């Protein structure tokens, strides 16, 4: 039986643990968060894409711990820790470097190490291999090292780990082949690239592509707002072109752990090569402006009926960063709530996926009870389980930032 080690049991690491356990591997996982380790021991999932029943069915095969020593017996170790930005929007590699240093302390000859955390090209070779060498073992000679970016899209059911092609670049040919054999257990298609750098950059290209295109359509949304043209009608019409156009939706800004963060890993790295990644920076700037634009629009909607934001009761519907999930990370809804509160609005929210927002002191309220009391309902995230028809029929005034009401022509409904 193969033993697979996983460092970081979050959105990426836990689904991987389940996938390998399903293929009869023994999984030894390490996370610094004792609550997660305890939850795994109780077979309780804290990730929406992983069912607790799956953990119960596979419980025998997944062992979680806060200690790295358990990784010594693994054939392969997958690193899935966060790669955030610092306050100054520079890559914060500290979780990745800490995890790598701790792994070096237990690394064994013959092991395979694969990094899945999103990062800039050069990290695996220049930053991680030297740290792992502190074990006395050399990457490519005594142990194998590769980079394979996670492409999971939380909440998605049509493309999951198994049928999403997995990109992989090894430090040496042998490193790549070993990693390929491992991932073939859980992925149907492996896409080999020549180096870890190519694999690292592939992931960044995918996210930058989305960020730039979302920024473009968001910029158009701000222009069409001035011009009095319906952006949703324009996007729907453009998307009928059978070639040469790819649909992206405007919205209140970008959220999640990836799109608002990853592109800046490349722009930071590009500066070392005397290059300014202007598309990336510009896209970030436009997308960061969107919550301000949305709050300004809310102000106009209230103004039209003689109300000010100060003292207005605003019900925000949907606070997670995207539909169908409860992930609040970098969610534009948080910025919107903050801006509304700064201007004196009384903000409440409804979100079937988010019971409370601790740092804002808010708890989700029942939609049917909150609707009649709200001066303005702001649809920030359009969860499929929310009754948007009820919102437009019972809400006094509605501002829809996601276009879910685009087929509705009602006096009380305005859109981004
Ligand atoms: N969430 C996504 O949709 C997604 C998709 C593709 C790629 N990624 C990338 O995958 C990586 C992980 O993202 P995530 O969303 O799973 O993050 P996460 O925050 O959900 O999980 C990371 C886990 O690592 C643990 N951790 C942090 N430092 C540690 C350390 N030194 N040792 C052991 N455990 C440690 C944390 O406690 C946490 O449980 C990031 O680089 C991210 O960019 C995420």
Sign of the dihedral through C-alpha 4, 9, 13, 16 = positive
Of 386, 239, 234, 393, nearest in space to 316 by CA: 386
Q: Is 347 in the pocket of ligand 1 (CB under 6 A)?
A: no
Q: Is 10 in the pocket of ligand 1 (CB under 6 A)?
A: yes
Instruction: Quickly list DSSP for 187-229.
Output: -S-EEEESSHHHHHHHHHHHHHHHHHHHHHHHHHHHHHHHHT-
**Ligand 1 pocket check: which of 5, 10, 106 to mutate, most ligand atoms within 8 Å of Cβ?**
10
Of 271, 158, 266, 291, nearest in space to 207 by CA: 266
Å from CA of 81 to ligand 1 middle: 4
pLDDT of the chain along its 416 residues, tens only?
799 999 999 999 999 999 999 999 999 999 999 999 999 999 999 998 899 999 999 978 999 999 999 999 999 999 999 999 998 889 999 999 999 999 999 999 999 999 999 999 999 999 999 999 999 999 999 999 999 999 988 888 899 999 999 999 999 999 999 999 999 999 999 999 999 999 999 999 999 999 999 999 999 999 999 999 999 999 999 999 999 999 999 999 999 888 889 999 999 999 999 999 999 999 999 999 999 999 999 999 999 999 999 999 999 999 999 999 999 999 999 999 999 999 999 999 999 999 999 999 999 999 999 999 999 999 999 999 999 999 999 999 999 999 999 998 899 999 99
Q: Is 82 in the pocket of ligand 1 (CB under 6 A)?
A: yes
Residues in contact with 76: Cβ distance below 8 Å, sequence separation at least 6, in sequence order: 2, 4, 5, 111, 112, 113, 114, 178, 179, 182
Rg of the chain (C-alpha set): 23
Cα–Cα distance between 35 and 120 in angstroms, integer? 30
Q: Give the position, in ligand 1's atom list, of the atom nearest the Cα of 30.
A: 33
> CA angle at residue 112 from 34 to 133, to 5 degrees?
85
User: Would residue 258 show up in a list of annotated catalytic residues for this protein?
Assistant: yes
Cβ atoms within 10 A of the Cβ of 267, count? 23
Q: Is 123 in the pocket of ligand 1 (CB under 6 A)?
A: no
At 257, list the tokens: 């752990």
Å from CA of 49 to ligand 1 middle: 15
Name the strand (E) or helix (H) holding 63.
Answer: strand 62-65
């Amino acid at each position: 039986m193969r033993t697979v080690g996983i460092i970081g049991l979050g959105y990426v690491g836990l689904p991987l643990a389940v996938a390998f356990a399903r293929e009869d591997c023994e999984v030894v996982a390490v996370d610094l968060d004792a609550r997660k380790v305890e939850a795994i021991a109780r077979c309780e999932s804290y990730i929406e894409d992983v069912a607790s029943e799956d953990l119960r069915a596979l419980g025998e095969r997944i062992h979680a711990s806060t200690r790295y020593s358990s990784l010594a017996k693994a054939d392969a170790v997958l690193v899935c820790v966060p790669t955030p930005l610092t306050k100054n929007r520079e890559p914060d590699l500290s979780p990745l470097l800490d995890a790598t240093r701790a792994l070096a302390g237990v690394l064994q000859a013959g092991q395979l190490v694969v990094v899945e955390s999103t990062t800039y090209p050069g990290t695996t070779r220049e930053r991680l291999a030297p740290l792992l060498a502190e074990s006395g073992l050399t990457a490519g000679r005594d142990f194998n090292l590769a980079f394979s970016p996670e492409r999971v899209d939380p909440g998605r059911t049509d493309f999951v780990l198994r049928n999403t092609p997995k990109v992989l670049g090894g430090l040496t040919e042998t490193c790549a082949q070993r990693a390929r054999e491992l991932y073939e257990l859980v992925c149907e298609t492996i896409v080999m690239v020549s180096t870890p750098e190519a694999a690292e950059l592939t992931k960044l290209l995918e996210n930058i592509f989305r960020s730039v295109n979302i920024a473009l359509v968001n910029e158009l949304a701000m222009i069409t707002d001035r011009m009095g043209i319906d952006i949703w009608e324009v996007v729907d019409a453009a998307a009928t072109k059978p070639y040469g156009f790819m649909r992206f939706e405007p919205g209140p800004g970008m959220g999640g752990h990836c799109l608002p963060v990853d592109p800046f890993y490349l722009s930071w790295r590009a500066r070392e090569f005397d290059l300014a990644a202007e598309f990336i920076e510009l896209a970030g700037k436009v997308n960061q402006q969107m919550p301000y634009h949305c709050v300004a629009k809310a102000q106009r909607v209230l103004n039209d009926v003689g109300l000010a934001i100060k003292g207005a009761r605003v019900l925000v519907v949907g606070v997670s960063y995207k539909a169908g999930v409860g992930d609040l990370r970098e969610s534009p809804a948080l910025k919107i709530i903050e801006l509304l509160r700064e201007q004196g609005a009384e903000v409440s929210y409804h979100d079937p996926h988010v019971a409370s927002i601790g740092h804002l002191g808010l708890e989700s309220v029942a939609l049917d009870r909150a609707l009649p009391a709200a001066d303005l309902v702001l649809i920030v995230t359009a969860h499929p389980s929310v009754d948007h028809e009820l919102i437009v029929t019972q809400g006094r005034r509605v501002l829809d930032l996601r276009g879910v009401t685009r087929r509705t022509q009602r006096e009380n409904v305005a859109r981004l």
